[in-house]
Structure formats: structure tokens, C-alpha cells
Amino acid sequence: MTNLITGLIGLALMIAFLGILLVWIKAIPLIIIVVCVVVLAVIDFVRSLRTNGAPR
């Protein structure tokens, strides 16, 4: 449960920070990179939750 809460807080802060950067710097390549990074971070977060919760 702790991993879920801290992970969601971390993802939310990262997305907020990168969103502010995207508002200030309106460059298409940067937008593409940020979207890819956020998608990969969410995928990694979901995978880590699934592997930590699986019985051994």
C-alpha cells in the first residue's frame, strides 16, 4: 500500500513539474519526449506494483 501511495505522489509531482515546463517551453520535440517519458514511468509503476504484490 505504501508503494502505491508514494508512487502516485511521485508520478503526480513529476507530471505537474513537466506540465509546467511544457507550458513555458512550447516546443514540439520536448512535448513528444515528455509524453514518452510519462508513459514509460506509468508503465514501470504499474509493473512494479504487479510484481511486488505477486505471491512468491
Tens of pLDDT, residues 18-36: 999 999 998 999 999 999 9
pLDDT of residue 56: 52
The three-state secondary structure class of 7 is helix
pLDDT of residue 36: 96
Contacts 24+ apart (CB under 8 A), 24-29: none
* pTM for this model (two decimals): 0.79
